[in-house]
Every structure is written in structure tokens, then in C-alpha cells.
Chain A
């Protein structure tokens, strides 16, 4: 695709349920990032993948959050036992491996936990 694609664009779930958010990076981009953006705030770093491995997961808030990227392309962010405080826009970004290049963002998934 032409850009980073995230699905679904909107997700409403009940408190306590499990959700998966998907990110399709730009083809050839080995670096992939997940951010969370709450209302009125800037994006907050969650996790960074280089290829298939999580190079930095220091931003994951707790063990209910987990992300995978098994083939080094598509990534899935998984949230267990969702809480109302998890409601936010979840952003994915990717960048190419050559040096410090621009990170391209997806349009985000708006998660609402009711």
C-alpha cells in the first residue's frame, strides 16, 4: 500500500473484553512503532520493533498490553481485560532502516471501552 494502514479505524468494546489492533507498515520498512494518544495529549510511545523483535517495549503500561510482529511486517497490538482508561487513539508508524529517516504514521485506531 501507499502508506501505513491501521484496522479497524474505530473499535468499541466492553470493559473486560480482549481486543486486537492491526498495523500494516509501508512495504520494506523494518522499524515499526506503536503509540497511544489520549484526548488532549501528544502521542505516547508504547513499543518499537526492529524486524520481528521488540527492540524497546518500555512504554507498554502493564502486562495487559502485548504486541507481536511475527514475520517482520504486519503487527498486532493486543489488549487483554480492557479498562475504560484504555480508551484512546492507537497510532502505528514505520520507518526504513537507512539511518535516521522519517517515521510515517497511520491514521490510527480509535478504541472506546464502555
Chain B
């Protein structure tokens, strides 16, 4: 069965501090992993995906198949990073019906 866990419901850090949002998954095949973000009063939007191996808004995430993790990291958090972050898994075949984690609310304090 496919499953995504995000152990922290809420993560608070001070501006300029490093941040790491944890994500673990269970899936027997070759998954695609994504991070989606929802800013206040905005719709859910893609932040990054592991196959792109890119940095978006200073965030990076590395897929670790050995640890079945896809943690999201940023070296210096900004107040505008405050949002809900969802880790999501897609089976990797055609179509993207995701399995989402429960989400972590990131609060960046001034």
C-alpha cells in the first residue's frame, strides 16, 4: 500500500534559521515524489518534484530510497515561507493520482 507520513503537524523556526520538513513514504515500486505548498488563502500549488532535481524558492529535496524519505530543506527560512506543506507520492505511471501526507504547517517567526 502507498502511504506518506509527515511527522510534524507544526514546525516553527525563526527567520534566517535552517528548516527541514520531514517526509517518509512506503511504496513497493518506483515512486515519484512531490512537495506541494498552500499559502494562506491560496490554492495548492507544486513546489518541486524529485525528478526535476531543482531548487525552487531556495528549497531542495533529495529522494533517499534507502530511507524512503524525501525531506524538504531550506538553509535560511524567510517569513514568506510560512504555509502548509504537503508531501505527495505518485505511482509513477501515466496519470498523477497522488497520495498526500497530512501536511506540516511551517511558521517562520520574525
Contact = CB atoms under 8 A, between A and B. Distances in A.
A103 B88 CA distance: 12
Give the interface SS of chain B, mostly helix, strand, loop or mixed.
loop
Interface residues of A, number: 28
Given A100-B90, A106-B43, A107-B43, A31 B95 contact: yes
Interface in B53-110: 86, 88, 90, 92, 94-103
Nearest to A102: B46
Contacts, number: 56
A31 B97 CA distance: 10
Interface in B8-52: 9, 32, 43-46, 49, 51
Given A100-B32, A100-B90, A43 B97 contact: no
Given A45-B97, A48-B97, A59-B97, A103 B102 contact: no
A55 interface: yes
Interface of A: 3-4, 31, 33, 35, 40-45, 48, 50, 55-56, 59, 91, 93, 95, 100-108
